[in-house]
Chain A
Amino acid sequence: MVGIPENELNLLVFVLLTCGLCVVYSSRVEKALFWWTLQTFAVSFLVLVQGLYSRELEVIIVGALLLIGKVGIIPVLLGRVLRDSKTEWVGEIYLKRTSSLVVAGALTLIAYEVTKPLMALPLPGFRNGLAVGIALIFYGLLLMMVRKVAIVQVLGILLIDNGIFLAGFFLTQGMPLLVEMGSMFDILVGIVIIVILSRQMLENYNSLNVDHMRSLKG
Chain B
Amino acid sequence: MINKGGQSVRKLLMTLSLALAGAGLIWGIVMTRGGEWIKTGFRFFTGEGAGLSLTWKVDGLTVFFLFILLLGQGLSSLYSIGYLKEYEEKKKSLWPFFTGWFLFLGSMFGVLLADDGFSFLLMWEMMSLFSFFLVLYEHEDPQNRKSAYIYLVMTHVATVFLTAATMFLYSKTGSFAFEVWAGVVPMLTTVQLNLLFLAFFVGLGSKAGFVPFHIWLPYAHSAAPSPVSTLMSGVMVKVALYLFFRLVWLMLGPGPVWWGWLFLLIGALSALVGILFASVQSDLKKLLAYSTIENVGILGMALGSAFLARSWQNDWAMNLALVAFFWHALQHMLFKSLLFMGAGNIIQATHTRNLERLGGLLRRMPKTGLAALVGIVGITALPPLGGFWGELILFQSLWLNTLELTGGWSKVFLPISIGILALVGGLSLATFVKWFGIAFLGQARSNVAERAEEAHPVQFITPLLVGGLAILSVLWPAATLEFINLPMSVLRTGEVISIGSNLGKPLFMTSVYLILISLLTVVVVVLTKRGTRRVTATWNCGTPLTSRMQYSATGLTKPIRILFSKAVGSHRHVERNFVESSYSLRSLRYEGRSKEVFEDVFYRPLIHGLFWVASQIRKLQEGSIHLYIGYLLITVIVVLILGR
A interface with B by C-beta (< 8 Å): 93-94, 107, 110, 113-114, 116-117, 134, 137-138, 141-142, 144-146, 148, 153, 156, 210-211, 213-214, 216-217
Contacts and interface: CB of A to CB of B under 8 A. Distances in A.
B630 A213 contact: no
A114 B641 CA distance: 6
Contacts of A110: 637, 640-641
Given A141-B632, A145-B633, 15 more contacts: A114-B641, A114-B644, A138-B633, A138-B637, A141-B636, A142-B633, A144-B626, A145-B626, A145-B629, A148-B626, A210-B626, A213-B623, A214-B624, A216-B623, A217-B622
A10 to B, nearest CB: 23
Interface residues of B, number: 16
A93 B629 CA distance: 13
Interface string B602-640: 000000000000000000001111110110110011001
Contacts of B622: 214, 217
Given A114-B644, A137-B636, A138-B637, A144 B623 contact: no
A144 B644 contact: no
Contacts of A153: 625
B625 A210 contact: yes
Nearest to B631: A145
Contacts of A113: 641
Contact of B633 (A141, A213, A216): A141
Nearest to B625: A210
Contacts of B624: 211, 214
B641 A217 contact: no
B626 A93 contact: yes
Given A110-B637, A114-B640, A134-B640, A94 B626 contact: yes
Interface of B: 622-627, 629-630, 632-633, 636-637, 640-641, 643-644
B320 to A, nearest CB: 63
Instruction: Please report whether the interface of chain A is mostly helix, strand, loop or mixed according to DSSP.
Output: helix
B389 to A, nearest CB: 62
Contacts of A216: 623
A141 B637 CA distance: 11
A82 to B, nearest CB: 19
Contacts, number: 48
B638 to A, nearest CB: 10
Nearest to A137: B636
Given A138-B633, A138-B637, A213 B625 contact: yes
A160 B643 CA distance: 20
A216 B622 CA distance: 11
A107 B630 CA distance: 13
A107 B634 CA distance: 11
A107 B637 CA distance: 9
B86 to A, nearest CB: 45
B644 A116 contact: yes
Contacts of A94: 626
Nearest to A218: B623
B623 A145 contact: no
Nearest to B635: A141
A13 to B, nearest CB: 19
Contacts of A93: 626
B643 to A, nearest CB: 8
17 contacts: A93-B626, A107-B637, A110-B640, A110-B641, A114-B641, A134-B640, A138-B637, A141-B632, A144-B626, A145-B629, A145-B633, A146-B626, A148-B626, A153-B625, A210-B625, A210-B626, A216-B623
B567 to A, nearest CB: 44
Contacts of A148: 626
Give the 5 A-B residue pairs with the shortest CB-CB distance, closest first. Answer: A217-B623, A141-B633, A114-B640, A144-B629, A145-B629
A207 to B, nearest CB: 15
Nearest to B628: A145
A211 B626 CA distance: 9
B636 A138 contact: yes
Contacts of A210: 625-626
A97 to B, nearest CB: 16
B273 to A, nearest CB: 42
Contacts of A107: 637
A113 B638 CA distance: 12
A95 to B, nearest CB: 10
B103 to A, nearest CB: 38
Contacts of A217: 622-623
Contacts of A146: 626
B72 to A, nearest CB: 48
A118 to B, nearest CB: 10
Interface centre among A145, A153, A214 (most CB of B within 10 A): A145
A210 B622 CA distance: 13
Contacts of B643: 114
A114 B624 CA distance: 29
A74 B636 CA distance: 26
A80 B636 CA distance: 32
A24 to B, nearest CB: 13
Contact of A214 (B623, B629, B630): B623
Contacts of B627: 145
A141 B625 CA distance: 11
B637 A144 contact: no
A211 B644 CA distance: 36
Contacts of A211: 624
A5 B629 CA distance: 38
B629 A117 contact: no
A69 B157 CA distance: 62
Contacts of B630: 141, 145
A54 to B, nearest CB: 29
Nearest to B640: A114
B71 to A, nearest CB: 54
Nearest to B642: A114
